[in-house]
Structure 1
Amino acid sequence: MTSLPCWVKNDSLVIPALKEAVLSCSKQLQSSSSRVNQLTGARELYNLILLVWSLDTRLARDAADIVCDHIRDTGGLESLIQLCSSSDISLRLAILKALEQIMVADNRKYIAGHKLFNSVVEVATSNESLEAIQSGTGILENLFKDSTQTCHRLIKRGALEGIILGCRNTDLIVLQHCAAALANCAMYGEAKAHAAMVTKYVDHWLFPLAFSSDEVVKYYALLAISFLAANPQVSHKVAESGTLDLVLPFLNNQDTEEFTRSCPNHAHGRSVGWLRRLVPLLLSQSEEARSLVAFHLAMEAAIKKKQNRLQTFSEINAFELLRTAAKKGSKLTAKFCTEALLTSSEPLPPYQCWNVINWSAVEVASWVGNTVCALSEDTVPDFTLHHVTGSMLLDLSVDDLMEIGFNSRVSCKWFLEEIKKLRCLADISGTESNEVCKWLTDHCKELALYRTDFARKGITKALLPHLTEDVLTEIGVSTRLDRLRISLALKQCAESQVFDTPDQGGAGFVLPTPALNRKFDVFISYRRSTGSQLASLLKVHLQLRGLSVFLDVAELGSGKFDEAILTTIARSNNFILVLSESCLDRCKEDTHVQDWLHKEIVCALENGKHSVPVIESNFKWPKDGELPTDIKQIGTWNGVSWSHEYQEASVEKLVNFLQLPAKARRMRSNTRSYMSFNSVVSEQPA
């Protein structure tokens, strides 16, 4: 297929011409006496399907389905499966590349039920060449979304380990396939696969993918971690990896239309089966999962509208779930749900909980009507008669409810529990108390219900040192336990001398997150533009060896928050400096120490931190005299040359260089590599 055929521009000729081309390729593949014909058939089939996917969006999906079905019907798929274990390396690679491109639903099912399924998986997990890894991980990505049973069989055959190894790769195509494969495994594999994924530390290995600069890799890694977080059986384990913390910052900076344009992978949308597994997460307990699914459905709605396939949303009950999530979700979730509904010309919900402070009496009455359906009608008064607004609703007490017309104190208490949930969802981002409230909930999620009290009382950072138990009671912190939690957090700030920090430019002191209050075994310093992948890999490798690691994942430049990072360096036992390509260039003429990598190195030196550089192969040391005198000492540090091919050996050498307390060394000696675990998913009969 050296040039575009004339029929590409004529819709009426496309399908017949494609079928004729497929038949020709299938006949060549079935030519058992000619290896040359087989190789030609596989390569032409690969080029043909690439041509199909390049067609206009409205035609490509239908044409691809027809072509892939015809490949199977004419015996081409059977020939590809039979030849995938060929001893000829060139033919085997051509077969892998062709198979990857034709993995529509019926072809996946055909392969999954084939007697040579294990052989296909074995070839797909081989590491013969970069091209083989690219196509092999692409095949696994697709097989993971065949069925729950197929997921379990793939895990049993070692496919999950193959994908985990791919997460260490530097090739973008491989990383994209690995991220999508893990998302499909989490989506289709259900609870049994989730347990296997956590056992093999997939939640940790997703971190470098979610930290990637590539939007596709990042997106599917975040989708995978969201599915794991939505499973209550493993959610507590997943939270420890830190990967889930990357979901909301990613979504806060996204526009669905721009994201779809920048990611060709999303251009044709997703199948009904895939979306059917996605939409239930709109009702998940995980805010991250709800928000990410709402984002995807907002994208999908625009694509399906363009394809004239919005009926897909009706088939999977997406519209009703979107309205429910828009009503009960956070501001971010509601934003994307609303976008999906508006794109689909669907009615919006009568209220949104995040906006409760601004609710009218009508919206309050609507919420009450939806919320109290569990109570008998004679128990619930008519709120419209009392003109209760959203702000008033949040302050109601048992006595208030009895006065309004509730005839049971038990019903009042039940109703107040529902109001507590509203308090946790209320958006206060535009208030001066927002930073204080975020600090509270970072310390303890149970304190989220007091956010509106702090906001409406105008509690800012400056007032925190003066919050006594009496003042907390006056604010509305109702239980002694919650007042104790807040008092202990304030005491911790006082002991760390947070409140003593002088005001600079009106910013005042910095409220530390729980993470910045900890003492870490290792602080990793890196240049974001060139060192983020290695830094994130080091984080995972070290954490899996039982070490506590701090890696700043937020964008620098947020004012005094960045200063708290320097305190974290001072509190850490070791300082690892990732020396990646051109990472020190900005330091060369940074005479006023404005560059943050420069600041971190200086801080490590001034605090006498045990420092170890990890040196990438493309890093070049600056010439003599180019580095400022305050950091030229780094050239004398003993370092580790990083090898992507031999990561385990590189990390072992690095760990041996670190100065670790006895407890950390004991934890490290008791930590097994993820590769030592056997699959926990049993083979299921085909």
Structure 2
Amino acid sequence: MIKRKVPMWLFPLAFHNDDNIKYYACLAIAVLVANKEIEAAVLKSGTLDLVEPFVTSHNPFEFAKSNLAHAHGQSKNWLQRLVPVLSSKREEARNLAAFHFCMEAGIKKQQGKTEIFGEIGAIEPLKNVASCPNAVASKFAAQALRLIGEEVPHKLSQQVPLWSSEDVREWVKQIGFAEYANNFIESRVDGDLLLQLTEDNLKDDIGINNGIRRRRFTRELQNLKKMADYSSRDTANINTFLQGIGPEFSIYTYSMLNAGVDKESIRGLSEDQLIKECSITNSIHRLRILDSIRAKENALGVSMEESLDKSLDVFVSYRRSNGSQLAR
């Protein structure tokens, strides 16, 4: 697939005026990016960026009626191949897979064939997606479950800082650490504390003694930090600034907010403060953050200079016998 540059030639198809061609091009790229072996090459093509605008601007039930090509739904074998995409680590891939299963649920309900979702093993993945903090995917997965008569699980908000201890326990169970879920309850870990957990906390307070398991938990926690909504705390749009550097920089949003970083103080941040106050241990990331702050300051300075350099029209009023006149 990569040798034949499939992600590249899917790009113009995903830009096609025909919504159906666009949809299946996006679906193909979502399936490809779910494969870890070729994920990097797919991301490089830029085609994945077109998935989100499509799913947020279309209704799965209306789209199902738009073309006979998918009005009758896909076969059991076809749908079975799409099930693993529901568990993809890429948000865009999960969004489109959930969109498609929502569309298929409506079609299969009309056909009286809703049992097909149980036969292909799609129920549990749909429940996992429906309860996750991903707003787009969870909405479509929940709709699909309702249509096929399945119970919709507890929904987790994207506003992780506002999570209760029960929300934290539910998330811990979702990511495969159910045996430690009650430990989080006993320690009264809410969303605020969850976002501040260190590896020492995981070992000493939660009891995850296996180092590899702690790394796995930390990886899931970092993924959560990337998709979290910090608007309840982030009045200075620190997360937007960090995402502008790269999506992976969102993992530092909460530590910077807790350190008191705002629109004014961010301008004077030093590398030492990023280490000690914001707990940013990655030296490359510190340099990129500082470079971005400087670049923003320089751009602001140039903009102000250009504004001051603009010529001003001066009007002088002088009196004449027949009234005041303006001279330019």
- Distance change >3 Å, CA 408–CA 235, structure 1 → 2: closer
Contact 2:236 2:263 in 1 (8 A): no
Distance 1:325 1:403 in 2: 31
Instruction: Please state if 1:394 is matched with 2:185.
Output: no
Tell me which of 257, 261, 267 is aligned to 2:61: 257
Q: Which residue of 1 aligns with 2:303?
A: 501
Q: Distance in 2 between matches of 1:249 and 1:392?
A: 33
- Structure 2 counterpart of 1:428: 230
Cα distance per residue 1:480-526 (max 9 Å; x no partner) = 3322221133334445x256435xxxxxxxxxxxxxxxxxxxxxxxx
Structure 2 residue identity aligned to 1:383: F
The answer on 1:316 being equivalent to 2:115 is no
d(CA) in 1 for partners of 2:44 and 2:214? 38
For 2:307, the equivalent position in structure 1 comes to none
Q: CA deviation at 1:295?
A: 0.7
Shift of 1:388: 1.9
Change in Cα spacing, 1:383 to 1:243, as seen in structure 2 (3 Å) is closer
- Using the TM superposition, give the Cα deviation of residue 301 of structure 1 relative to its aligned residue in structure 2, in angstroms: 0.9
Alignment of 1:220-231 (within 5 A): 220-231=24-35
How many correspondences in the alignment?
A: 302
Q: Matched residues in 1 for 2:260 and 2:54: separation?
A: 29
Task: Indicate which of 128, 150, 157 corresponds to 1:346.
Answer: 150
Identify the residue that residue 18 of structure 2 maps to in structure 1.
Answer: 214
Residues 13, 25 of structure 2: 8 Å contact kept: yes
Alpha-carbon shift at residue 281 of structure 1 (Å): 0.9
For the residue of structure 2 that corresponds to 1:382, the secondary structure is helix
Note the residue ranges of structure 1 that are not aligned, 5 or more in a row: 1-193, 503-686
Q: Do the aligned partners of 1:294 and 1:336 also contact (CA within 8 Å) in 2?
A: yes
Structure 1 window deviating more from structure 2 (221-230 vs 257-266): it is: 257-266
**2:268 alignment partner in structure 1:** 466
Root-mean-square deviation over aligned CA pairs: 3.3
Counterpart of 1:477 in structure 2 is: 280
Aligned to 2:290: 487
Is 1:236 matched with 2:40?
yes
Listed one character per residue, the Cα deviations across residues 299-332 of structure 1 (whole Å, up to 9, x for unaligned) are: 1111111221111111111111112233456322
1:207-227 Cα shifts (integer Å, max 9, x gaps): 222112321121111112222
Q: What residue identity is the alignment partner of 2:21?
A: V
Please name the residue that 1:537 is paired with.
none
- Pair 460,297 (structure 1): closer, same or farther in 2 beyond 3 Å: farther
Q: What do the CA deviations read for 1:611-649 (whole angstroms, capped 9, x no partner)?
A: xxxxxxxxxxxxxxxxxxxxxxxxxxxxxxxxxxxxxxx
2:96 to 292, 298, 303: 292
Deviations 1:79-109 (A, max 9, x none): xxxxxxxxxxxxxxxxxxxxxxxxxxxxxxx
Q: Are the counterparts in 2 of residues 341 and 347 from structure 1 also a CA contact under 8 Å?
A: yes
Distance 1:451 1:331 in 2: 19
Describe the SS at the equivalent of 1:395. coil
TM-score, length of structure 2 as denominator length: 0.77
Aligned to 2:83: 279
1:381 Cα deviation from its structure 2 partner: 6.1
Structure 1 residue 452, shift from structure 2 partner: 3.5
Give yes or no for the alignment of 1:449 onto 2:251.
yes
3-state secondary structure, aligned to 2:81: helix
Q: Does 1:201 align with 2:5?
A: yes
User: Partners of 1:234 and 1:407 in 2: how far apart?
Assistant: 32
Q: Return the letter of the residue paired with 2:188.
A: H
Q: Does the Cα contact within 8 Å between 1:434 and 1:455 map onto a contact in 2?
A: no
Letter in 2 for 1:293: A
The aligned amino acid for 2:33 is: A
Query: Aligned in 2, Cα 1:500/1:258: closer, same or farther, shift over 3 Å?
Result: farther
Question: For residues 266-665 of structure 1, what are the structure 2 equivalents within 5 Å?
Answer: 266-328=70-132, 330-352=134-156, 354-371=158-175, 373=177, 382-401=183-202, 404=205, 406=207, 408=209, 410=211, 415-428=217-230, 432=234, 436-454=238-256, 464-473=266-275, 474-495=277-298, 497-498=299-300, 500-501=302-303
Structure-2 separation of matches of 1:387 and 1:353: 18
Given the superposition, is the C-alpha separation of residues 434 and 315 from structure 1 closer, same or farther in structure 2, using an over 3 Å criterion?
A: farther
Kept after mapping to 2: 8 A contact 1:433/1:458 = no
Q: Identity of counterpart residues, as a percentage? A: 36
Q: Give distance in 2, aligned partners of 1:207 and 1:220.
A: 11
Which of the two has higher C-alpha Rg? 1
Distance in 2 between residues matched to 1:447 and 1:475, nearest whole Å = 12
* Contact 2:88-2:94 within 8 A present in 1 as well: yes
Q: What is the CA distance between 1:285 and its match in structure 2?
A: 3.0
Corresponding position of 1:247: 51
Report the 3-state secondary structure (helix = DSSP H, G, I; strand = E; otherwise coil) of the residue aligned with 1:285. coil
Whole-Å separation in 1 of the counterparts to 2:79 and 2:93: 14
SS at match of 1:450: helix
Q: 1:380 to 1:331 in 2, by over 3 A?
A: closer
Paired AA for residue 187 in structure 2: H
What is the CA–CA distance in structure 1 between the aligned matches of 2:297 and 2:132, rounded to whole Å? 37
Does the residue aligned with 1:199 lie in a helix, a strand or coil?
Answer: coil
Paired AA for residue 444 in structure 1: G
